[in-house]
Each structure stands twice: as C-alpha cells, then as structure tokens.
Chain A
Amino acid sequence: MLNIEEGKIKQFLQQNNPYALGKLLREIENRPESSHRIMRFVYGYGGKAHVIGITGPPGVGKSTLIEKLAGHWAEQGLEIGVLCIDPTSPFSGGALLGDRIRMQNLTESDRVFIKSLASRDAGGGMPIYAFDMIKLFEAFGKDIVLVETVGTGQLEFRISEVADTVALVTGPGTGDAIQTIKAGIMEIAELYIVNQSDRPGSEETVRDLKMMVSESVGKRWVPPVLETTATKKRGITELSEELSRHKKYLESSGLWQERRRERNRKFFTRLLFEHCWQKINKHINHDQEIRDKISQVEQEKCDPYSLLHEVLSATLKIDG
C-alpha cells in the first residue's frame, strides 16, 4: 500500500472500525510522511478524548497500571485507545515492544485498542508522529487515550506536549525519583503514583513526594500522590477518580481549551522547524557554492552570520 490514496483514507475514516484504525496507524508508523495526506482529513472530525500520559522509569508497573485502568473504564462502557512507546535499540534499529504482555486481559475487550510504537530516532522521548496517532484515536471516537512512555526524554518531543494529564509512576524506595524530578530530568506531573506499594519503602516514597508537592501550595491544582498495587488492582478506583477530577479541573478553569491551543501551536512550530530544516539541508547539500562557504566558516574566513543570511534568502525567500 504505497502512498495511500485519498479515497482510501476517507473510506477508512468513515468505516470507523479497528481494521481501519489499524491500517491508518500502520501507514503513519511505516511512512511518517503519509501523515501529510492522512491528517488533512482527520482534523475535521474533532475529538474530545482525555489524553493521559503514564510515564516513569522502566519496570515500575506502567503497563500493568494501564491494563487495570483501561479495564476499569471499559467496564463502564468507555472506549479506550492505548499508545505504548518503547525505546528503539541504538545498535540494530530494531525494538522489542513488550508492553502488551502485561495487558493480556485487555485484548479480550472490544472497547480497548492498543498500539505499540518504537521510539526510533526520538531516543527516550516520543516520535513526532505520536501526536498524529493520538489525533487519529480521537477521530475514531476514543473517550480516553493512554500514552505510555519511559520518562527520560529531555530534548525530545515530550509527553507533556501531547497529554492533558501527565501521571508519573515511581516505585517504593526510589529516592532518586525525586532527585530526577527536581533536576528536570523526569517530567513535572499532575499526578504522582507510587506503584508496587506492596513492597517495602512505599510510605517513605509517598512522604517524600508529598513533601515535594507541598511546595506547589498556592497553585490551583496541587498534584495528588497516590499509592497503588497494580498487580492486585489496589488503588485503581481512586486513581481513576483523581484522573477524572483533573479533567474536570481543566475544563472548569478554561485550561482544557487553552492548553490544547498551545499544544496545537507548538506542534505546528515543531512541524515548521523540522520541514524547514529538511528543506534547507537538502538545498545546502546540492549547492556547491554554499558548501564552499561553509568550509570558509569552518576556517573562520567567513563569519557565520553573513552566510546565514545568504542561505536564508536562497532557500526560504524570506529577507532575513
């Protein structure tokens, strides 16, 4: 299915079934440039999904939590999309996408659709087309979209740039969790979860997180700190209630709209950046004159600013 046709895209969107969603997601995953063709039709469909990021260090129980949460919501009749992003091996370019093994019970439900995605060149973050995939889930009528990532992305596209609510999961005894949050390595979250609370050290981690959170007193949303044992389904109802409470908070404060606008604008800026850079880079590679000048810049025979203006006016036709 090289270069999916317009008719096919429209047909898939109208079909609105798992087969069609699977095909469109695969198309973007396989050839990210096909977003250009697909997404034009997706935006008309609107969407109201609550996008929830579940992030945190490897092995703390993110997938197990998602299984229990999504199962809980599916029982209530909600439609759930799950996007699990796992790191690509820097050595082979391949990836082991192993989150589904903890979500086996979900595969039996018609209400839950799970897509596993390799991070590819986004390292610990998420590829930019994850944004499009979430929009596709929305267009296919999902009420809630859960996004699992390993929260180490610093410079990459971050979970907070796609999610309405970010929940950070840690385990007991990970005193470093707080260090990494403070150092800005881990995301700032709207909700903190101490999972594996059946293991020793849980109270201490909860206490530390609560102390950290108390510094945000005076803000209108004080992040709750929750204890869960995902494997035993403990704390799931409370977690789901807190997530809904955050959604209501966003809606009633006007932040829901505001943040989505900001998100859309940021995404557009990001797209512009990526495509302008690609275009300019391509031009530079084909223009011997500019390449010569770059080597002059290397040797400090030409200053970078003069060359910058020259390249800009040659490629973007904007008077720089």
Chain B
Amino acid sequence: MSENIKVVMAKLGLDIHWRGAVALTRMLRDQGMEVVYLGNQFPESIVRSAVQEGADVVGLSTLGGNHLTLGPKVVEMLKEQGLDDVLILMGGVIPPEDIPKLKEAGIAEVFGPESKIETITDFIRNNVA
C-alpha cells in the first residue's frame, strides 16, 4: 500500500452545483490524504491529470445525467493509459438502479450524498493497490 495516498478529485463534466466534491476533498485531507482538486473536467483531462499526478484514487462527483457515459469513459481511458490499478470512485446523486451498471463498467464503489466520511476513507484504505 502507498505510504501517502494520492487522490485526484474532479467534478464530472459541467456539473457546477454540487459542492460535495470540495467538501470531500477537505475531509480526505483531514484524514491524512494528499488530494489534488481539479474542479470541473471532462474524462480526457481527468485521465491526463491522473497520469501526471500518479493517482492512487480518482474520485468523480456528479449530479447525475452524465454518470453512465462519462464515468465508464474515465475507466476505459485510464486502462488505455496503462493505469489499471487506480481505484475509481463515484459520488453524488446517482439513481440506485444505475449503480450495478457502473460497477460492471469498473467503478469500484459509488457513494451517495449521505455517505459518511469514515465509510469512504475505510473503503479507500482497504482497496488502494
């Protein structure tokens, strides 16, 4: 396991309303992680940033609407770049019936707006390669 977990956090696409990504970034920092915050980005830029930063974890936040297309796209593009051991998480407002599809596409876990920070950090610590 990495000594210092590095997380790359992005808001997916054009979602600008959900402040959860910023709050979560701070919380992960307070849990001892090193978190790169990207703001709003499309998959290509997120993947490029993950390559440059050497991310252990990529966190994607979304308000819904674009998650089924853009989420799996990030997974696919990371694999293309040879980063197949990166843990990819999604958070935000996502209809429960979509979660199995996302997991099948390679998203490791999906966290709703009510998720506790401990749940998220435990998941990260237990699953980072």
Contact = CB atoms under 8 A, between A and B. Distances in A.
B25 interface: yes
Listed residue (A29, A30, A97, A120) with the most chain B CB atoms within 10 angstroms of its CB: A97
Contacts of B54: 22-23, 25-26, 29-30
B33 interface: yes
A115 B48 CA distance: 11
A29 B4 CA distance: 9
Contact of B31 (A92, A98, A104): A92
Contacts, number: 89
Is chain B's interface secondary structure helix, strand, loop, or mixed overall?
A: mixed
B104 interface: no
A104 B45 contact: yes
Given A23-B54, A30-B2, A116-B53, A92 B36 contact: no
Contacts of A18: 48, 51-52
Given A29-B6, A91-B30, A107-B41, A96 B25 contact: yes
A218 to B, nearest CB: 44
7 contacts: A26-B54, A89-B29, A94-B34, A97-B34, A100-B38, A107-B41, A113-B52
Interface residues of B, number: 31
Contacts of B33: 94
Given A30-B4, A97-B35, A118-B34, A108 B51 contact: no
A93 interface: yes
A118 B32 CA distance: 11
Contact of B49 (A29, A30, A98, A107): A107
A93 B28 CA distance: 11
A94 B28 contact: yes
A95 interface: yes
